[in-house]
Structure 1
Amino acid sequence: MRKVVAFMAGMFVMACNGGGASSDPVAQTTKPSTSAQPVAVVNILFEGDSTMFGSDVMSCANPNCQNLAGNEPVVVTALLNDKNGFGAGAVSGTNAGVPSSNLAEMLSGGNAQYPNSYPDVLKRAQAKIVVSNHSMAGRPEQFEGYLNRFIDETLAADKIPVLEEPNPVCHDKRPNLDAYVVVMRKVAAARSVVLVHQYDTFKTNPYWETLLPDCVHPSSNGYAVKARNTAQALIPIIQKLRNN
């Protein structure tokens, strides 16, 4: 899988430098090989808020929020299906991100954002892996309980839970976001759950704030960075599933 890691690193550099000739991270992804051998498809369900949905900052100023074509689930799926990844058709991703939602709403259901409870959603989902990118809900101590509930209910449905850190923000709308990141890391370590490291990884780029046009939602290049981090974290899980 060295080729996969090298390919992800290349995507990260392009995203941080503006993407070269194209600002579309999907366009920057090498097309999957048409000669790839058929494989059992690994389905992934991507849950989260607007930063998982892939909100386009400009359209989200309107009631009908649209998402970028190069949103995180789309780019993650393209990376993993690339000829330098697992090959064409190896992975299928479903973007279930809902703008202005939180983890408590997703778990309970019965609300405008989530009419069905999370266990009901899992019963119908074909996904074997569920990635959660909900970064805040209630107070930090309450958030810990929601994260554990997400893990418990995902495991009970015979699926693999993955936690994803939020990208950082560059204003004071979420002044305590750090506290929620600490909680997520604590839960992931205690429960031996894969954690996608976004928060500090973004900050390794001295120009990371330029990847967040409104200081919260990533640009297309910002979503490419998120996707690269997520794909890299998912590689060992997918490899294990394919070997079983």
Structure 2
Amino acid sequence: MSLGCAATLSACGGGGGTGSPASPATSNASASATAASTAPKSHVTIYLDGGSTNWGADIDSTVKEQSPAVGQGVVGRASPSPAQLMQTDFDAALGAGVVTVIDGATPGATFQADLQATGVVAQSISARLGSLTTPADLVLSNFEINDQYVLAESPQTYASWEQQWVQTVKAAGATPVLQEPNPICEPGFNIPVTDEFVAQTRQLASTQGITLLPTYDAFKLYPLWNLTTGLMSSDCVHPNETGYAFKEAHYFPVLLPVVRKLLAQ
């Protein structure tokens, strides 16, 4: 049998050349598989991927933790971290144990490094998702700051890597969710270019029906957002604890309905 016929017996006329309807056993199996794939879930697993602003780096924090990034050592981390903030919100909204948020972010990572396990990333996102005991339902990510300022990518190149990340997450059987970044204010910052990066992400989300969690515009509109008395730590790249809570307050109302739909609530 040719490869083409192996792919679809009915189209190739298997069993006599006229094609034949699927047997009842085949039909029942297909229906059961479809029902299983669309059945409401009793538990949802969220994998929080991304860079340091998803991990919760905060240079001013008194909490010091070992970074998961290769060779980075101990760094300051906001307490609660972004994953902890999200977990607390889901526990309060849906009850403890209904949603599990896995903290998988790597400070210093980019989309390219995340996909290829290069630089500070020890294991690719594909490998990490494949090794989970409970498969991820949703995978969240944002690497914009590092892609813009560390790799000096163009917004178009960034969009290309972001698209590859989306495809990789889907191939792992999970649903990708994109997050907008916070702006930064360190020397050399370029908000107009960041606007272009964010526009690329918004376009990708819109054209492909991907959930996008907002924060960028709200962050910029916050009075004196770029001060330590506002939303930023003293490095002017990472939010302070108030800033991380501010981001979660904008992410969560958009993410919650996505999870409720999976749970059919």
Give the TM-score taking structure 2 as reference length.
Answer: 0.71
Report the 3-state secondary structure (helix = DSSP H, G, I; strand = E; otherwise coil) of the residue aligned with 1:208: coil
CA RMSD of aligned residues (A): 2.0
Unaligned runs of 5+ in 2: 1-40, 65-71, 148-152
Partner of 2:78: 68
Counting aligned pairs with the same residue, the percent is: 27
Aligned mates of 2:74, 2:129 — CA distance in 1: 27
- Please tell me whether residue 204 in structure 1 is matched to residue 211 in structure 2: no
Q: Given residue 136 of structure 2, which amino acid in structure 1 is its aligned partner?
A: A
| Number of the residue aligned with 1:41 | 43
- Is 2:176 the partner of 1:155? no
Conserved 8 A contact 2:52-2:108:
yes
Count of residues in correspondence between the two structures: 202
Aligned residue in 2 for 1:227: 248
* SS of the residue 1:69 aligns to: coil
In the TM superposition, residue 89 of structure 1 has moved relative to its aligned partner by 1.5
Give 1:166-181 correspondences, 5 Å limit. 166-175=181-190, 176-181=193-198
Q: Distance in 1 between matches of 2:223 and 2:104?
A: 31
2:143 corresponding residue in structure 1: 134
- Which residue in 2 is equivalent to 1:105? 113
Kept in 1, the 8 Å contact 2:58–2:76? The answer is yes
Verify: 1:88 aligned to 2:90, yes or no: no
Larger of the two Rg values belongs to structure: 2
**TM-score (ref. length: structure 1):** 0.76
How far apart in 2 are the matches of 1:98 and 1:121?
12
Higher RCO (CA < 8 A, seq sep 6+): 1
* Match of residue 127, structure 2, among 83, 102, 120: 120
The DSSP-based 3-state class of the residue aligned with 2:258 is helix
Taking the aligned partners of 2:220 and 2:200, their CA distance within structure 1 comes to: 19
Q: For residues 97-154 of structure 1, give each alpha carbon's deviation from its aligned partner in whole angstroms, at most 9, with x where no partner exists.
A: 1111111100111x24222222222212322110002114232111111111111111
What is aligned with 1:6? none
Name the aligned partner's letter for residue 104 of structure 2. Answer: A
Report the CA distance between 1:63 and its aligned residue: 4.8
Aligned-partner Cα distance in 2 for 1:231–1:55: 20
Question: Which residue is 1:237 aligned to?
Answer: 258
Structure 1: distance between partners of 2:54 and 2:188 = 19
- 1:13 — aligned with what? none
Once the two structures are superposed, residues 180-228 of structure 1 have per-residue CA deviations (whole angstroms, 9 ceiling, x without a partner) of: 1111111111111011111102123223222102321111111101112
* 8 Å CA contact 2:113, 2:119 repeated in 1: no
Amino acid aligned to 1:128: D
Alignment partners' CA distance in 1, 2:160 and 2:264:
33
TM-superposed deviation, 1:49: 1.0
Q: Report the 3-state secondary structure (helix = DSSP H, G, I; strand = E; otherwise coil) of the residue aligned with 1:183.
A: helix
**Corresponding position of 1:55:** 57
What secondary structure, in the 3-state scheme, does the structure 2 residue paired with 1:107 have? helix
Report the CA distance between 1:41 and its aligned residue: 2.4
1:76–1:228 CA contact under 8 A, matched in 2: no
Structure 2 counterpart of 1:76, one-letter code: M
Give the aligned residue type for 2:85.
V
Q: Which runs of 5+ in 1 are unaligned?
A: 1-38
